[in-house]
Amino acid sequence: MPIHVLSEEVVSQIAAGEVVERPSSVVKELVENSIDAGARDIRVETRAGGKRFIHVTDDGCGVPAIEAELAFRRHSTSKLATADDLVHITTLGFRGEALASIAAVSQVTFVTRAAAEPVGTLVRLEGGRVVAHQESGRPPGTAVTVEELFFNVPARRKFLRSEQTERRHVDAWLTRYAMAYPALRFTLAHDGRVVFQSPGNDRLRDVLVAVYGLEVGAALLEILPDAPLQSQIANQQIGKSANRQIGKSANQQISKSPISNIQVTGFVSPPSLHRANRGFITLFVNGRWVQDVRLTYAVIQAYHTLLPSGRYPLAVAMVHLPPEDVDVNVHPAKSEVRFRDGDAVFRAVQKAVRRTLIERSPVPVAVHVPTAWPVAAPQWREEQRERLAHLQPQPAAGQLRLEAERLEAVETPGRALEPPAGRLPPLRVVGQLGTTYVVAEGPAGMYLIDQHAAHERVLFEQLLAEHERAAIASQALLEPQPVELAPESAALLEEYLEVLSGLGFQVEPFGGTTVLVRALPAIVAQADPRQVLEDVAAALEMSDVPLAGTLVEAVAARVCKRAAVKAGQVLAHAEMEELVRALEKCASPRTCPHGRPTMIHLSVEQLAREFGRSVNASTS
Ligand code: ADP
Ligand code: MG
């Protein structure tokens, strides 16, 4: 083919490809525009994972009527005028590409009203061409609707993943911006259902509670400000005035002492809270979410020797530094940045996190722990609450609320707080009760153990340990078995084949919604493959929340539930012995993987009390 210049249409589609990869990229760009427009309230709605419909509204400054069409021209922006401006960008956008790119590959309706104008404007574009432009009523602000993404780029459309996956990417972006801008209120709805909302009260901890749940949100430690902050600010001011005297600009001064100008804020997990991968380390630079291997490592390094090997912290860290010390114009999607002094930023992050851990984490979070975990004893919670009130060094009102609700969470299945560390004492099996419970005796009284829940716990810890060593026992089926699944389940399984194979599944797509099962984890090899796979799909679906516990753990918990002995199953004495011995070895023997108690403990004191005996009078 001879060399020729590409047509305008092809050029714009290629360019669009760099900015718009999937529905979440559209959401990201539109939300960035809303933030740049000074909005306080940003609402996002999608249908079909955003493939068919994305709607973003804001109460920002809006676009004047005469500029509404111009906003869609490539390289048109109100945020940048000269190349010099590139050096100190304070807005999220600046390339003037997003609206043009989105419009090139979808059908966009843009309704906007600048506060000073009496009426709004509606512009509609299809494949980049304006098909309507008219007046339209709306309150000040902007609403953008993006329909039929990639309708004119079938190759791209084919690459989109399942609705759940696309939704998850949207969730991830929205929660990132909610964390970066706690003063703004973000609302996200999928298919008519609100799935996330941040309070917009300028408190990052409250956003973290909305994202990670109460338990994690309450446990996170706020990164301490750099100790000599006051003196630093004072120094800066001295520096500035000194500069003025010798005729230098403040900027030059800043670039000379970059370290004192790097601030790190946010929250990090105490060493007792960790995750199986580094995906829970979220970083922002000047309000922009970034992917940065080195800074991620800086956070991990701060936990050196504090975490078990193979475990990673959870962190939301914001780096603030003068805009001229960071280049955000590295990539069209802007999730990579380049620092003028990368080492200084690395040190600042590592130091801030380490300092926080050292100063904050020795303080016991869970206050006093009773010797035995009195499962399902409501009055214990009252006691604990009282004790909490005494021992807490007068927390702020909000904090107290969080702490109190944290105790509440203890009994909520699913997200239960880990019981206090401390393994089981050696127990003597007495017998089985109602073919459901194992009765056992220990130094501190009587234990009633739920055989199913206990077995789940045992299998779960074994499976995860094997997974860690990449040594999960997998058992091939005699004959590979095709299993037809619900479309959603099939899509989910196919997406996570790798996670599954790490857990001992050998499953492959078999056309349509059928998968071929070649092997299962040995512990469920006797079960019905269809049931096992439906279980797994359900687990994947449930952990379809951004950043919830790890997928591996969710799937493992389901598999173990299926594999564990059931209530109603008669157990021989030796089997009960084996179960109890295995439970004694568990790190968290007192709850099942889903957070339900595995046992009820009746202490010697309680028994004595119930029988009206005085506790110390052993001779009576
Ligand atoms: P950029 O954000 O890089 O400037 P965009 O293509 O995303 O480029 O947007 C082009 C311009 O349209 C912006 O510079 C801004 O002036 C205007 N604009 C886009 N979205 C909004 C919005 N939600 N509110 C106000 N103005 C907007
Ligand atoms: Mg933009």
Tens-place pLDDT, residues 421-452: 457 888 999 999 999 999 999 888 889 999 99
Query: If you take atom 16 of ligand 1, which residue's CA is the nearest one?
Result: 78
Is 59 close to ligand 1, i.e. is its CB under 6 Å away?
A: no
What pLDDT sits at residue 361? 64
Ligand 1 centroid distance, CA of 590 (Å) = 54
Atom number, ligand 1, closest to the C-alpha of residue 142: 23
Pocket probe for ligand 1: among 20, 29, 36, the residue whose CB has the most ligand atoms within 8 Å is 36
Give the three-state DSSP class for 399: helix
Atom number, ligand 1, closest to the C-alpha of residue 91: 2
- Whether 78 shows a pLDDT value over 90: the answer reads yes
Query: If you take atom 25 of ligand 1, which residue's CA is the nearest one?
Result: 62
Is 311 close to ligand 1, i.e. is its CB under 6 Å away?
A: no
Between 137 and 485, whose confidence is greater? 137
Atom number, ligand 1, closest to the C-alpha of residue 56: 23
Encoded amino acid at 217, one letter: G
Closest by CA position to 448, among listed 375, 379, 557, 370? 375
Atom number, ligand 1, closest to the C-alpha of residue 32: 2
Is 142 close to ligand 1, i.e. is its CB under 6 Å away?
A: yes
Stated length of the chain: 620
- Whether 249 shows a pLDDT value over 90: the answer reads no
What's the pLDDT tens digit per position in 321-348? 999 999 987 777 678 899 999 999 999 9
Pocket probe for ligand 1: among 77, 95, 142, 145, the residue whose CB has the most ligand atoms within 8 Å is 77
Is 536 close to ligand 1, i.e. is its CB under 6 Å away?
A: no
Ligand 2 centroid distance, CA of 98 (Å) = 5
Query: If you take atom 23 of ligand 1, which residue's CA is the nearest one?
Result: 34
- As given in the structure block, the two tokens for residue 13 are 């589609």
What pLDDT sits at residue 484? 86
Mean pLDDT score across all residues of the chain: 82
Is 26 close to ligand 1, i.e. is its CB under 6 Å away?
A: no
Is 292 close to ligand 1, i.e. is its CB under 6 Å away?
A: no
Q: How confident is the model at residue 616 (pLDDT cuts 50, 70, 90)?
A: low
Atom number, ligand 1, closest to the C-alpha of residue 96: 8
Rg (the chain; Cα; Å): 29
| Backbone torsions φ then ψ of 266, nearest 5 degrees | 125, -155
Is 260 close to ligand 1, i.e. is its CB under 6 Å away?
A: no
Measured from the Cβ of residue 417, the count of other Cβ atoms closer than 10 Å reads 19
For the CA of 102, the nearest ligand: 1
Is 72 close to ligand 1, i.e. is its CB under 6 Å away?
A: no
Is 57 close to ligand 1, i.e. is its CB under 6 Å away?
A: no
For the CA of 70, the nearest ligand: 1
Ligand 2 centroid distance, CA of 91 (Å) = 9
What's the pLDDT tens digit per position in 121-171? 999 999 999 999 999 999 999 999 999 999 999 888 888 888 988 999 999
Pocket probe for ligand 1: among 33, 74, 331, the residue whose CB has the most ligand atoms within 8 Å is 33
- Whether 233 shows a pLDDT value over 50: the answer reads no
Q: How confident is the model at residue 619 (pLDDT cuts 50, 70, 90)?
A: very low
Ligand 2 centroid distance, CA of 565 (Å) = 56
Q: 451-468 and 573-585 helices cross at what angle (nearest 10)?
A: 50
- Which residues on neighbouring strands pair with residue 185, listed in sequence order? 41
Is 34 close to ligand 1, i.e. is its CB under 6 Å away?
A: yes
Is 58 close to ligand 1, i.e. is its CB under 6 Å away?
A: yes
Pocket probe for ligand 1: among 99, 102, 121, 145, the residue whose CB has the most ligand atoms within 8 Å is 99
Pairing of strands 474-484, 514-521: antiparallel
Q: If 0-12 CB within 10 Å is exposed, 13-18 middle and 19+ buried, where does residue 266 land?
A: buried
- As given in the structure block, the two tokens for residue 11 are 């050029």
Helices (H) and strands (E) in the chain, counts: 20, 22
What's the pLDDT tens digit per position in 100-120? 999 999 999 999 999 999 999
For the CA of 141, the nearest ligand: 1
For the CA of 57, the nearest ligand: 1
Ligand 2 centroid distance, CA of 118 (Å) = 25
- Whether 24 shows a pLDDT value over 50: the answer reads yes
Ligand 2 centroid distance, CA of 453 (Å) = 51
Q: How confident is the model at residue 415 (pLDDT cuts 50, 70, 90)?
A: very low
Residues 468, 310: contact at Cβ < 8 Å? yes
Is 141 close to ligand 1, i.e. is its CB under 6 Å away?
A: no
Is 62 close to ligand 1, i.e. is its CB under 6 Å away?
A: yes
Q: 163-180 and 487-495 helices cross at what angle (nearest 10)?
A: 60
Can you give the pTM of this predicted structure?
A: 0.61
Is 61 close to ligand 1, i.e. is its CB under 6 Å away?
A: yes
Is 180 close to ligand 1, i.e. is its CB under 6 Å away?
A: no
Atom number, ligand 1, closest to the C-alpha of residue 95: 3
Q: If 0-12 CB within 10 Å is exposed, 13-18 middle and 19+ buried, where does residue 318 land?
A: buried
Is 89 close to ligand 1, i.e. is its CB under 6 Å away?
A: no
Between 254 and 505, whose confidence is greater? 505
Q: How confident is the model at residue 578 (pLDDT cuts 50, 70, 90)?
A: very high
Give 407's DSSP letter.
Answer: H
Ligand 1 centroid distance, CA of 141 (Å) = 12
What pLDDT sits at residue 489? 79
Cα gap 288→320, rounded to integer Å: 10
